[in-house]
């Protein structure tokens, strides 16, 4: 059977996510992102277009590394103002039945217990359509918003994330049995306490007693997305992620990265096929190639190089502060010497490039490895070729205009992909995990590390049968 290709709309609850400067376009609705109707209209459109999900990015700080302050980001609307991605999901869920919702939340700044409940709530309200993009966050300003003087070092953030996930799995998978809630009116028992337990987690970074406050949702653990590209990030993905965003500067690098992640997952005993691989797709389509190219030219004209630089500078180097012929590698080496964490920048900037070359690359959307501006046939050819040659499972569609980019994709590309058997013609399943892995797969696969806590296995928790209802016993039990 031909492999059907997944498409998510790449979104953010903000005015300018990654297509900087285009908020000024007269047909762009981005300025309406504070308005619930904006999200409701988008959800309806994406479900009509049979998208897999809307994928909401997020950051928890301002991009203030460029020209030593947030002024450019503010002026250009670069991910500020921005709102919480989780809060628009229930409204979108209310007007759809199938569309998935993958939202970003960072493991670095807010402890896991409250997030566990928020995620379970969303999985309940969406009837099993919630996914979580796990990030460890990269903005220095984010660290300063949460009481730190500077960012926690890159690999340490992943160590924290590892334990964070462990706590969540205990809460989501281990704390409640499926049949805990019995709603027995006659005997006045809502939940059978013998089927709910403390988790008593005591680790290096967190101490969490539990029990989880939400009863099990359809998926329990939301579908786990992740985009690590460093060695530590890839190892994290191979352990936890069910869907990964791979990057690269060429098609060949994408192929290698997809193969790497599947191999690492295999080595972890998870089965490479149990990880779906996604890439960003930069697509500008119209009825024919000429019209699409004209549209691309217009987007180029209205793009803001300053906006792109503010975005790139948020993670670390302020390119405006260096001469055009300076080598990026030298700048990174000098900054590393001063103790700056430039691990994210090592990958963001082209290796071996000068500042001038990096500026050129960073300010041009058509430099993305998957970039196509063309007719429906051109786009479908590129999608088909990339999937065949890289083993990718799907794409996050970048927006230039909202709702124009999604509308164009649905009008022109979807029918062409459907004609080729590469895109669904109706939704078959309703939970997000089943969408990715097939009907019947609502829950984590048994070999996933989260599954080891099922039924209370591998927990230090005691079940809450009458005698143990007093949480004050917790410390004694944990110490025992
Ligand atoms: C498609 C995609 C989406 C991402 N979305 C976010 C995001 O919303 N918020 C964030 O802090 N980082 C985001 N990232 C960055 C990743 O979480 C990660 O930090 C980055 O890919 C570098 O990998 P590393 O952490 O292993 O060094 C995204 C990356 C990709 C490729």
Choice between 409 and 344, residue whose per-residue pLDDT is larger: 409
* 363, two tokens: 């300010």
Give the Cα separation of 178 and 176 in Å (integer). Answer: 6
The preferred substitution site among 55, 62, 79, 135 for testing ligand 1, maximizing ligand atoms within 8 Å of CB, is: 135
Alpha-carbon Rg for the chain, nearest whole angstrom, is 23
Which pLDDT does position 314 carry in this prediction? 66
The structural architecture, per CATH, of the domain 6-303+364-475 is Alpha-Beta Barrel (3.20)
Question: What's the pLDDT band for 462 if we cut at 50, 70, 90?
Answer: confident
DSSP string, 242-296: SEEE---SSHHHHHHHHHHHHHHHHHTTS-GGGSEEEEEEEEEE-SSHHHHHHHH
Residues within 6 Å of ligand 1 by CB: 57-59, 104, 135-138, 227-230, 233, 245, 247, 280, 343-344, 396
Picking from 291-295, 442-446, 451-455, 459-463, which range would have the lowest pLDDT averaged per residue? 459-463
Nearest Cα residue to atom 29 of ligand 1: 227
Each residue's pLDDT tens digit, 101-157: 999 999 999 999 999 999 999 999 999 999 999 999 989 999 999 999 999 999 999
478 has a pLDDT exceeding 50: no
Each residue's pLDDT tens digit, 415-441: 999 999 999 999 998 899 999 999 999
Q: 277 and 391 in contact (C-beta within 8 Å)?
A: yes
* Ligand 1 atom nearest to CA at 138: 11
Choice between 339 and 294, residue whose per-residue pLDDT is larger: 294
468 has a pLDDT exceeding 50: no
pTM (predicted TM-score): 0.93
Nearest to 51 by CA among 399, 374, 414, 379: 414
Give me ligand 1 centre to Cα 227, in Å. 5
Q: What are phi and psi of 6, to 5 degrees?
A: -85, 140
Which pLDDT does position 3 carry in this prediction? 82
Nearest Cα residue to atom 16 of ligand 1: 227
Q: 304 and 51 in contact (C-beta within 8 Å)?
A: no
Nearest to 21 by CA among 222, 301, 294: 301
What percent of the chain shows pLDDT beyond 70?
93
479 has a pLDDT exceeding 50: no
Which pLDDT does position 474 carry in this prediction? 43
Give me ligand 1 centre to Cα 135, in Å. 6
227 has a pLDDT exceeding 70: yes
247 has a pLDDT exceeding 80: yes
Which pLDDT does position 279 carry in this prediction? 97
1 has a pLDDT exceeding 90: no
């Amino acid at each position: 059977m031909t492999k059907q290709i997944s498409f998510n709309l790449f979104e953010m609850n903000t005015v300018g996510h990654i297509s900087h400067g285009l908020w000024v376009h007269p047909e762009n609705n981005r300025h309406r992102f504070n308005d619930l109707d904006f999200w409701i209209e988008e959800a309806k459109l994406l479900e009509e277009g049979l998208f897999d999900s809307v994928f909401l990015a997020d950051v928890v700080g301002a991009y203030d590394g460029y020209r030593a302050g947030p002024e450019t980001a503010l002026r250009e609307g670069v991910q500020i103002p921005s709102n919480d991605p989780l809060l628009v999901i229930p409204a979108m869920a209310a007007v759809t039945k199938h569309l998935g919702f993958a939202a970003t939340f960072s493991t670095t700044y807010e402890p896991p217990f409250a997030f566990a409940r928020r995620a379970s709530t969303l999985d309940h309200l969406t009837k099993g359509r919630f996914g979580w993009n796990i990030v460890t966050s990269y903005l220095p300003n984010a660290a300063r918003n949460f009481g730190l003087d500077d960012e926690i070092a890159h690999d340490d953030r992943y160590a924290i994330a590892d334990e964070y996930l462990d706590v969540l799995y205990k809460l989501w998978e281990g704390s409640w049995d499926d049949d805990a809630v019995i709603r027995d009116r006659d005997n006045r028992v809502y939940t059978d306490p013998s089927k709910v337990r403390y988790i008593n987690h005591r680790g290096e970074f967190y101490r969490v007693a539990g029990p989880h406050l939400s009863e099990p949702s359809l998926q329990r653990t939301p579908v786990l997305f992740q985009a690590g590209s460093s060695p530590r990030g890839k190892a994290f993905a191979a352990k936890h992620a069910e869907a990964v965003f791979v990057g690269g500067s060429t098609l060949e690098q994408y192929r290698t990265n997809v193969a790497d992640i599947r191999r690492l997952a295999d080595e972890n005993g998870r089965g490479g096929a149990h990880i779906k691989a996604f890439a960003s797709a930069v697509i500008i389509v119209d009825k024919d190639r000429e019209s699409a190219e004209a549209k691309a030219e217009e987007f180029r004209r209205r793009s803001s190089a300053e906006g792109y630089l503010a975005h790139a500078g948020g993670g670390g180097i302020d390119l405006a502060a260096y001469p055009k012929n300076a080598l990026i590698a030298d700048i990174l080496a000098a900054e590393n010497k001063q103790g700056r964490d430039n691990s994210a920048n090592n990958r963001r900037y082209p290796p071996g490039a000068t500042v001038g070359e990096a500026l050129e690359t960073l300010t041009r959307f058509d430099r993305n490895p998957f970039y196509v501006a063309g007719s429906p046939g051109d786009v479908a050819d590129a999608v088909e070729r990339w999937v065949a040659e890289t083993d990718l499972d799907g794409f996050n569609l970048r927006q230039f205009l909202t709702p124009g980019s999604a509308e164009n994709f649905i009008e022109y590309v979807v029918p062409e992909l459907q004609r080729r058997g590469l895109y669904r013609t109706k939704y078959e399943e309703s939970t997000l995990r089943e969408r990715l892995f097939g009907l019947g797969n609502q829950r984590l696969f048994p070999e996933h590390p989260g599954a080891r806590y099922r039924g209370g296995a591998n927990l230090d928790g005691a079940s809450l049968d009458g005698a143990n209802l007093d949480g004050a016993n917790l410390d004694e039990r944990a110490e025992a």
